[in-house]
Amino acid sequence: MFQIFRRLWALNWAEQWQYRANLLMYLLFWLVAPIVYLAVWTTVARTQGSVNGLTASDFAAYYMVLLVVDVLTSQITIHVLAPEIQNGNLSNRLLLPVHPVLTQVLVNNIAFKALNLIALAPIWLALYLLFRPALNLSVLYLALAVPALVLAFGILFLLGAALTLVAFWTTRVWALWNFYSAVFMLFAGHFVPLALLPPLLQTIAKALPFSYTLYFPIQLILGKLAPQEVAINFGMQIVWLALACVIFRVTWRAGVRQFSAVGA
Amino acid sequence: MARPASPAFGANGTPPIVVEELSKTYKVTDREGGFGAAVRSFFKRKFKDVRAVQRVSFQIGQGEIVGFLGPNGAGKTTTLKMLSGLLYPTSGSAQVLGYTPWERQAGYLRSMTLVMGQRNRLAWDVPAADSFLLNKAIYRISDDEYKRSFQELDDLLELGPIIRKPVRNLSLGERMKCELAASLLHRPSVLFLDEPTIGLDVGAQSRIRAFLKEYNRRNGATIILTSHYMADVVALCERVIIIHHGELRYDGGLSELSRRIAPYKIISVHLGGCDDCALESYGVVLPGEDETGKKRLQVPADQVPAITARLLAEQPVQDLTIEDPPIEDVIERAFNEPLRN
């Protein structure tokens, strides 16, 4: 298995590198939203002194960490897999004695992430100098963030893949994807830190997986969580990872069956 | 239905490919063109059953190369996809190397390959060599085995420098060579080849053919091949299976097919100083002449010696040749005429 990942990595890295201009455009497009929120909230906090106890510097810290956490945990499976399903190219991958999503698509996501991080670094540094966030990082929380980020990526990767598999049944999977993304942005803490949401929305956020994949790692890195909260959030991550596994497995089986019923 | 008396058997006593009553029916939406029809079909969809493959049965012995023939839409690709595990059949069964293909067990996927001439399995933006190494890992080919396999494929296909160019920069012929090599590195013992020479020039076609024959000879691989180029079939397949409208029409030797479908031969004669020599009395005069001015006569196979003798005795014959009917004609007839058992 290690050999497969090594070869896939070499191949995907080379391929992504061919499309580096493309990738940079994607990154810049994706950066627009968080930077706008960052600018808006720091301005609001500065004029009012603070919003619900959060200062301009707190907002800056939140969004600066969000940028990194989001690159590390987000996934682009729909862009890779949906076209393959729709044009029938997935057939080629189904002929191989390995799971196409858990090998090829997974490594593709990771290679994309790695290149994105490299491109993000100088931009992040420039933003840091501009906004001067209040970042008090501790080694302990950063160490705890590693498993939190891995679990978060696992959850989002499997859920994103399961959603992409809807392409087996309908060509309108992109509409569904846009809806999913909007729900994610709201309940993960993208638009605004979850603590500022109305209580009802906060309750909904707790029932959905997204806050555990973005808001939790950010708060963990910022050192805002009590030990008990950290434990509960890790617990929820594990529950959601297990659920995501089941959802993915069921969709995959049904999808491949559908694919091979109508003509691959 | 003609069947070869006994297909060669594999090690465990059963032929590597056994297909019984295999059927595949697609459900497709059925609607007329136009806006009204589109709206109606949104509320009430009509489905139509398309019977792509109907109760097809055959067995193929180890090391056989079988031509799988039929017009477009006959069900050839559907059958190959079922046998390679990409499609679930509607009914019937198939065993390939003892596996049920559509269960897609890793052991099965590791011992077969499907090559589709119109599909690309290589990563597009990087050299084929990188895809080869990925396949080496995926199929768990050891270093030694890989070296031997690659050497052999390089020998036969003359891969040389083309595997170091990005795949997107290769010509169609070069890409096809790489596709074949990538599909065979793990030395599959069963090969399904769907139009492996499509779009290639004559030279490239004959090189691919020679390669397949040699691969079959060296590895004892069992091969099912579809092609619209009869030259492929004549060069590679002693046995052909013909399907049409999803039904099996013929299963047997290629030469026997000629004898049964077209029990006649073509006599071409070049006559000196005779423009209208009433050749009709010898056989059916085919329209047109060939480029050297020869007339062509179609005569029943069993009367060839007698008619030739008469021609030579009665006409000023300068040159005479006897040929089998063109294979394209035979196959065309086989598609269209019901075959006697």
- Please list every residue in chain B whose beta carbon sits closer than 8 Å to the beta carbon of residue A9: none
Query: Considering only A55-64, B206-215, B245-254, B274-283, which range has the smallest mean pLDDT?
Result: B274-283
Does residue A172 register a pLDDT over 90? no
Q: What letter does residue B237 receive in the DSSP assignment?
A: -
Confidence of residue A82 (pLDDT cuts 50, 70, 90): very high
Domain boundary assignment for chain A: 2-262
State chain A's mean pLDDT as an integer: 92
> What gap in Å lies between CA B234 and CA A14, rounded to an integer?
43
Q: For residue B115, give the chain A residue with the closest CA.
A: A92
Nearest to A261 among B88, B120, B131 (CB): B88
Amino acid, single-letter form, for residue A47 = T
pLDDT tens per residue, range A184-205: 999 999 999 999 999 999 999 9
Q: What letter does residue B141 receive in the DSSP assignment?
A: -
Closest-CA residue to B124 (of A16, A163, A208, A261) = A16
> What gap in Å lies between CA A188 and CA A211, rounded to an integer?
4
Confidence of residue A225 (pLDDT cuts 50, 70, 90): very high
* For range B140-149, the mean pLDDT: 94
Structure tokens given for A115:
């290149």
Does residue B341 register a pLDDT over 60? no
* For range B196-224, the mean pLDDT: 89
The pLDDT of residue B4 is 43
Residues B317-321: contacts with CB within 8 Å, 24+ apart? B317/B269, B317/B270, B317/B271, B317/B272, B318/B270, B318/B271, B318/B272, B319/B269, B319/B270, B319/B294, B320/B267, B320/B268, B320/B269, B320/B270, B321/B267, B321/B268, B321/B294
Q: Which residue has the higher pLDDT, B319 or B97?
A: B97
Residue A216, exposed/middle/buried by CB under 10 A (0-12, 13-18, 19+)? buried
Chain A contacts to B (CB-CB under 8 A): 3-4, 6-8, 10-11, 14-15, 18-19, 89, 91-92, 94-98, 103, 257, 260-264
pLDDT tens per residue, range A40-70: 999 999 999 888 889 999 999 999 999 999 9
The pLDDT of residue B264 is 86
The pLDDT of residue A196 is 93
Confidence of residue B12 (pLDDT cuts 50, 70, 90): low
Confidence of residue B11 (pLDDT cuts 50, 70, 90): low
Provide the CATH topology of domain B59-258.
Rossmann fold (3.40.50)
- Partner A contacted by B31 (CB < 8 A): no
Structure tokens given for B181:
């090599």
Contact, B112 vs B189, CB < 8 A?
A: yes
pLDDT tens per residue, range B167-193: 999 998 889 889 999 999 999 999 999
Structure tokens given for B252:
């047997």
Q: Provide the H-helix boundaries in chain A.
A: 2-18, 20-48, 56-73, 77-86, 90-94, 106-131, 139-164, 173-188, 199-207, 210-213, 215-222, 227-262
**Binding-face residues of B in 100-159 toward A, CB within 8 A:** 102, 104, 106-107, 109-110, 113-114, 119-121, 123, 125-126, 130-131, 133-134, 136-139
Distance from CA of B305 to the nearest CA of A (A): 52
Indicate if the alpha-carbon torsion angle A233, A234, A236, A237 is positive or negative: positive
Closest-CA residue to A75 (of A189, A163, A171, A195) = A163
Structure tokens given for B47:
């489905």
Distance from CA of B301 to the nearest CA of A (A): 44
Give CATH 3.40.50.300 domain extents, chain B. Answer: 59-258
Burial A61-72 (b: 16+ CB within 10 A, else e): bbbbbbbbbbbb
- Partner A contacted by B50 (CB < 8 A): no
Confidence of residue A2 (pLDDT cuts 50, 70, 90): confident
Confidence of residue B275 (pLDDT cuts 50, 70, 90): low
* For range A6-25, the mean pLDDT: 86
Confidence of residue A86 (pLDDT cuts 50, 70, 90): confident
The pLDDT of residue B43 is 72
- Please list every residue in chain A whose beta carbon sits closer than 8 Å to the beta carbon of residue B136: 3, 7
Does residue B8 register a pLDDT over 60? no
- Partner A contacted by B77 (CB < 8 A): no
Q: Which residue has the higher pLDDT, B175 or B331?
A: B175
User: 3-state secondary structure string, B45-93?
Assistant: CCEEEEEEEEEEEEEECCCCEEEEECCCCCCHHHHHHHHCCCCCCCEEE
Query: Considering only B2-16, B24-38, B224-238, which range has the smallest mean pLDDT?
Result: B2-16
- Partner A contacted by B175 (CB < 8 A): no
> What CATH class has B263-324?
alpha beta
pLDDT tens per residue, range A107-157: 999 999 999 999 999 999 999 999 889 888 999 999 999 999 999 999 999
- Please list every residue in chain B whose beta carbon sits closer than 8 Å to the beta carbon of residue A98: 106, 138
Structure tokens given for B301:
């196979």
What is the pTM assigned to this prediction?
A: 0.84
Confidence of residue B6 (pLDDT cuts 50, 70, 90): very low
- List Cα–Cα distances, A188 to A151, A207, A246, B282, in angstroms: 15, 11, 22, 89
